[in-house]
Structure 1
Amino acid sequence: MIPTSEEILAKSERALRVASVNVNGIRAAYKRNMADWIAARDVDVLCLQEVRAPDAIVRELTGEGWHILHAEAKDKGRAGVAVLSRAEPTAVRGDIGEEYFAESGRWVEADFTMEDGSTLCVVSAYVHSGELNTQKQVDKYRFLERMNVRLVELKNEKDHVLVVGDLNVVHTEKDIKNWKPNHNKRAGVMDEEIAYFDGFFGEDIGYKDVARELAGPEAQGPYTWWSFRGQAFDNNAGWRIDYHMATAQLTAKAIKSHVDRASAYDLRFSDHAPLVIDYQF
């Protein structure tokens, strides 16, 4: 699971390394040696989704040296997001700002003062996976609609904004191995969902898809999620549903992106792989 390339592991001076990963249950991930990956990656800000554990367990597993912002879901064993940072945040907020989602464990915000005096807001987000023709899909659209509002608010309030996490939508054909069998047939690949991302990355809202900016518009993937079922991982039949969404000035500071895909199926600590990006301040 741990990258061994010195080029990947090396971090330049004054670079801020931000990693995001859906851990699919932090207790299970730590049993599969997630701690070894953290120790190797020299991460400054670690954003987690689908934590699915009480706050005490999160703090026990991650150990000392972190400032921890964690939003548990009201429904035990579901969702849960966290921002772990080496530096102490100057302010924190525990939800997306709509009462309906206040205890959903899907959105937390942490503000940091950078060395140049600017303010960086980091958000760990977990958008509903959804399910067609169910309340889960209704809630997903409601959450995406609320993101339209909150993204603009943050952009207007902060010098830099970085929204990371499992956003559970593939934006283009380049973000999924098997486009045709899934397009408009499965949650996460519906045109109505994709339209929200067109908006997030459009001129009006104005965020950038950082990993896509660095990889280039024609690059396939790199994927961040593969089903545990069947041969999806071995065949690299993945989806790119984990994002770093950043305001334009922050995106310009991004210098290196990597998906820490395990070298073998049995070395994975989650069905998602971490997305790690360095920002040069």
Structure 2
Amino acid sequence: ALLCVVIFVIFLMALSGNIILILLIHSDTHLHTPMYFFISQLSLMDMMYISVTVPKMLMDQVMGVNKISLPECGMQMFLYVTLAGSEFFLLASMAYDRFVAICHPLHYPVLMNHRVCLLLAFGCWFLGSVDGFLFTPITMTFPFCRSREIHHFFCEVPAVLKLSCSDTSLYEIFMYLCCVLMLLIPVIIISGSYYFILLTIHKMNSAEGRKKAFATCSSHMTVVILFYGAAIYTYMLPSFYHTPEKDMMVSVFYTILTPVLNPLIYSLRNKDVMGALKKTLNVGMVRQETIK
């Protein structure tokens, strides 16, 4: 019961934190820049991400019925894989945005105009959905003739595969190669972007400029390490590293805790977001006083 309450509080924190961040970015004209557009997309993904798994898990705990139908399991798996895949590519797009902003500031308005941002965001969602459409139908068509009890709190691909009585080794190799490709492309983009960013920061004469660039990039790198580290463990490490308990702990971390941490990382360490929040709160207080 206590664990349910803790998870419910974390779920509400994740939803409220990401909603506040999206509303601030939408309402404050100073935050109408490519960087904050991508942060708002990340918040949207995180809100959907946590909503795919946690409400169902909490309902099961409260009702005492730990069951999920095959279509529901397939839908949960599809949404989860799609959102995780989209977030991989979005984090790469955010790194590219920072690279252009810091290394090519004069060309930034042209290279990262609104149309380019929309195309990058659409590309991230599209590639994520390709991932979902690829893995979900194949995983769900395997015959499940063993116990249908998933040793997990949601229908994650590796956990569901363990229930199959047919040989899944070929599919697991295919899945591994896809995951390597899906992780490798964004990692190359992120690594390349940050290599050139660090070179540019090193050459900066302004201490204030260096500090601001480091602050922005360190926030993004924190999110990247948290998200990619957990994904590498789940989908790329050999099976002998895995136990149901370890898998569940890692999944809890990047399914439940990451969506809570992301808005905190991008708001508490960001002067512009904190400034927008203070301004909004001040406007709200002035309105209250006027009403009185």
TM-score by structure 2 length? 0.30
Higher strand share: 1
Higher relative contact order (CA 8 A, sep 6+): 2
Larger-Rg structure: 2
Normalising by structure 1, we get a TM-score of 0.30
Structure number having the greater helix percentage: 2
